[in-house]
Amino acid sequence: MTSRARWSASSPSLNSKGKTLLRVYFYDAPPATGVVTNPLDGKPHNLSGTEEHARKTRLLQALELQPDFALRSGETVVRGWELGAAANRSLRRELRTLVAEDLVPHIKQRGVDLRIGLDIARLSLRQLVEIIVVMTGDRDMLPAFKFARREGVRVYLDTMGHGVRRHLMPRVDIVL
């Protein structure tokens, strides 16, 4: 399962110009739970029993207790099964019969982007912030960025060291 977690620090943000942090928003969905059945061998797979599930649960629980921090949770849904990354690489090298271990649950997050956009709109409309710092590379954020800028809020994009996609650059004020 991959996480599409995003950080959005909204401010007036803490920096050398004496601004103060309003809050740090963290958007994610809880890890998937339940038991799913592998279609190739019929064996059950307990999503809650993995180390990844435990690790992500601990992280989200710790984050929600941090001061000036808001955890915004979407939903997690299981949409069947898909080829795992290792199986995909293996099958590209040599054609072979699929085995049960090649498949992994196809887990999707829902509602995370919507929550980010709604928070950006609310903070902008109510003039609660001057600057919003968003850490993402997601094209789905473009309408929220445009909206905030039209409302007079400066939008800073932090790609956390990853490359900046060309389509995001004209929609933000500064790329950090």
| The pairing of beta strand 174-175 with beta strand 44-46 | unpaired
Which pTM value belongs to this model? 0.76
Which residue carries 């710790």 as its tokens?
62
Q: In this predicted model, what pLDDT tens digit does every residue of 97-128 receive, in sequence order?
A: 999 999 999 999 999 989 999 999 999 999 99
Cross-strand pairs, 133: 9, 156
Which residue carries 């909204």 as its tokens?
10
DSSP 136: -
Q: In this predicted model, what pLDDT tens digit does every residue of 33-88 receive, in sequence order?
A: 999 999 999 999 999 999 999 999 999 999 999 999 999 999 999 999 999 999 99
Structure tokens at 115: 């929550």
Residue 109 contacts residue 101 (beta carbons within 8 Å) = no
Q: Write phi, then psi, for 10 (nearest 5 degrees).
A: -110, 150
pLDDT band at 17 (very low <50, low <70, confident <90, very high): low
| Element of type H or E holding 6 | strand 6-11
pLDDT band at 13 (very low <50, low <70, confident <90, very high): very low
